[in-house]
Amino acid sequence: MKNYRKYWKLGRPEYNTEFFDMTKNGELLVKEGNYQYNINKLVKKYGSSLEIVFPYIIEKRLSNLIDIFNKHIKLHGYKGRFHYNYPMKVNQNKEVVLSLISAGANIEVGSRNELWLVRQLWEQGQFNNKIRVLCNGPKTQDYIDLITKLRAEGLNIVPIIEDKNEYLALKKFRGNVGIRLNIDVKVSSRWDKKIDRFGLYPEEILSLGKIRNLKILHYHIGSQIEKSEDILKPFMRAAEVFAKVREINPTLDTLDLGGGLSIPYDKKRAYSVDNVAKRIVGFIRKFSEDRNIPQPDLIVEWGRYIVAPAQITIYKVVFEKPIAKSVAQRWYVIDGSFMNDLLDTWAIHQKWHVVPVNYMKEKKLARIWLAGSSCDSDDKYTAGGSYVLLPRLEDMNGEPLYVAFFDTGAYQDPLASHHCLLSSPAKIIVQDGAITVARKRETPKDVGKLFGW
Ligand SMILES: *Cc1c(COP(=O)(O)O)cnc(C)c1O
């Protein structure tokens, strides 16, 4: 008999599906310690389209990452410390941010409005004073004002200077600052821009001479970096710059690698985080010894890597249509929209791992393209011109077919929209055996309201 669990790539740590499994009846199952949740039952109860968030997965992934770095720090006798700063832009939903904080995250914000939310938590006493908040993104005056105010109130906050204007605007800032380096290293990532608008070139940073209270050298080269080599290359280059800048600025003691660690969305290849961490720590230890500089603290801001696998999005197949001449045989039209709910499908041709939620043990599968319910012909998912294999509706005894899209926790919610005024998916949070509705299903009235009706 076919091993369906293996076939749908469930229970595989290298693909970040270790928390997923299936029931004897071929229904999708998620495990949280000794709890487990039958996704087919949840979607029947809460309806579709549906987003399901698993804070447990977020916490596990972060504590795992922290453990990995601390293990290599110990093995190498490394003197610097490891910090994780969660880049809020990846997913600003409160349950996500709170889960990360509880698992030991510091924060990175990219705008005044994100910082304003952090301030809410801070004023409500929801995190301890040790948490450090890094501020990236263009520093508008209202953003700088808020940073200054929060520093005065005692928040551990560090603005990262991204260009000369910001350098001038923050010259009188009394707290610690960081500076963003623009490194010229080519990496395999969709976001590896030939010309990067953020950061200062090494010569520019050096030409500034002594920078008051300079603490952190930061760079961020791109997201979803496809090869582990390409995590290491910019890091090595940044270390060179770090050593030079430190000669002029002895207060500099932290190197911040930014984001970029990838998710194996297509469940084909993946690199090992353990190996990446080992090489990072091994390299910087030797480098610091060779250059005779104190071993710096390290920060990573790997957002996508931590939160993407903590959410799945479920749709019901509402009808099918034949496709005449193509690699795929049928359209399955879903009760949601790629352009609205999973916008990267359209924006960057994101590939997703798609599995049925029920009828996972069907022997005969059809080659499928999926289409959203909007009136837009771009609202579709073709797995990059290939196809998705899914059960045939005629084999389902009149039951509806539900499909799950994996790894939807990063970047999709903040980019979500209302093309054709479709309703967003409802959202539930599943934690400690209990379910909380985080976003109710939008009525036509709710959606109209967003547009002034
Ligand atoms: C977007 C961003 C990140 C997160 O990148 P991921 O690829 O999601 O890890 C981290 N740091 C900065 C400065 C960013 O702009």
- Compute the average pLDDT of residues 352-364: 97
Decide if 260 contacts 215 (C-beta within 8 A). no
* Contacts (Cβ under 8 Å, ≥6 apart) of 227: 187, 188, 271
Task: From residue 203, give the alpha-carbon distance in Å to each of 42, 199, 250, 287, 412.
Answer: 56, 12, 18, 21, 37
Residue 1: what pLDDT? 62
**Gap from CA of 31 to ligand 1 centroid (Å):** 28
Decide if 171 contacts 208 (C-beta within 8 A). no
CB-based burial of residue 299 (10 Å sphere; 0-12 exposed, 13-18 middle, 19+ buried)?
Answer: buried
Ligand 1 binding pocket mutation candidate from 62, 91, 108, 231 (most atoms within 8 A of CB): 108
Nearest ligand 1 atom to alpha carbon 260: 7
My answer on whether omega of the bond before 49 falls inside 30° of 0, hence cis, is yes
Residue 188: what pLDDT? 82
276-326 pLDDT tens trace? 999 999 999 999 999 999 999 999 999 999 999 999 999 999 999 999 989
pTM of structure: 0.96
**333 — pLDDT class (breaks 50, 70, 90):** very high
Decide if 336 contacts 372 (C-beta within 8 A). yes
- Which helix (H) or strand (E) covers residue 230, if one does? helix 229-248
CA nearest 305: which of 273, 276, 274, 266? 273
Decide if 391 contacts 293 (C-beta within 8 A). no
**Gap from CA of 128 to ligand 1 centroid (Å):** 24
My answer on whether omega of the bond before 99 falls inside 30° of 0, hence cis, is no
CB-based burial of residue 125 (10 Å sphere; 0-12 exposed, 13-18 middle, 19+ buried)?
Answer: exposed
* Contacts (Cβ under 8 Å, ≥6 apart) of 413: 51, 91, 92, 93
8-state DSSP, 327: S
How far apart (Å, rounded) are the C-alpha atoms in residues 384 and 344? 12
Task: Pull the structure tokens for residue 451.
Answer: 């547009």
| pLDDT at residue 107 is higher than 80 | yes
Task: Pull the structure tokens for residue 80.
Answer: 């610097």
How confident is the prediction for the chain on average, in pLDDT?
Answer: 96
**DSSP per position, 244-293:** HHHHH-TT--EEE--S-----TTSS----HHHHHHHHHHHHHHHHHHHT-
Decide if 282 contacts 239 (C-beta within 8 A). no
Decide if 137 contacts 143 (C-beta within 8 A). yes
**Gap from CA of 110 to ligand 1 centroid (Å):** 9
**361 — pLDDT class (breaks 50, 70, 90):** very high
Instruction: Give percent above pLDDT 90 in the chain.
Output: 94
Alpha-carbon torsion angle 412, 417, 419, 424, nearest 10: 80
| Mean pLDDT lowest among 11-15, 235-239, 268-272 | 268-272
Residue 207: what pLDDT? 97
> Which residue puts its alpha carbon closest to atom 6 of ligand 1?
259
Q: b/e for 227-236, b at 16 or more Cβ within 10 A?
A: ebebbebbbe
> Which residue puts its alpha carbon closest to atom 10 of ligand 1?
259
Q: Is 209 helix (H, G, I), strand (E, B) or coil?
A: coil
Ligand 1 binding pocket mutation candidate from 58, 90, 188, 192 (most atoms within 8 A of CB): 90
How far apart (Å, rounded) are the C-alpha atoms in residues 175 and 152? 9
Pocket of ligand 1 (CB under 6 A): 87, 89-90, 108, 110, 136, 220, 223, 258-261, 301-305
How far apart (Å, rounded) are the C-alpha atoms in residues 370 and 355? 12
431-447 pLDDT tens trace? 999 999 999 999 999 99
**189 — pLDDT class (breaks 50, 70, 90):** confident
Q: Which amino acid is at 334?
A: I
**Gap from CA of 322 to ligand 1 centroid (Å):** 41
| Cross-strand pairs, 36 | 31
How far apart (Å, rounded) are the C-alpha atoms in residues 345 and 352? 8
Residue 383 zone, left/alpha/beta (φ > 0; ψ -120 to 50; rest): left
CA nearest 136: which of 80, 178, 82? 178
> Which residue puts its alpha carbon closest to atom 5 of ligand 1?
259
Decide if 366 contacts 329 (C-beta within 8 A). yes
How far apart (Å, rounded) are the C-alpha atoms in residues 207 and 164? 11
- Compute the average pLDDT of residues 382-404: 96
Residue 296: what pLDDT? 98
**Gap from CA of 285 to ligand 1 centroid (Å):** 25
- Compute the average pLDDT of residues 27-51: 97
How far apart (Å, rounded) are the C-alpha atoms in residues 42 and 47? 8
Residue 384: what pLDDT? 93
- The residue assigned the tokens 């903590």 is 310
Ligand 1 binding pocket mutation candidate from 192, 301, 344 (most atoms within 8 A of CB): 301
**230 — pLDDT class (breaks 50, 70, 90):** very high
- Compute the average pLDDT of residues 69-89: 98
**Gap from CA of 301 to ligand 1 centroid (Å):** 6
Residue 191: what pLDDT? 74
118-146 pLDDT tens trace? 999 999 999 988 899 999 999 999 999 99
Angle value at C-alpha 159, between 153 and 164, nearest 5 degrees:
135
**Gap from CA of 86 to ligand 1 centroid (Å):** 9
- Compute the average pLDDT of residues 186-205: 84
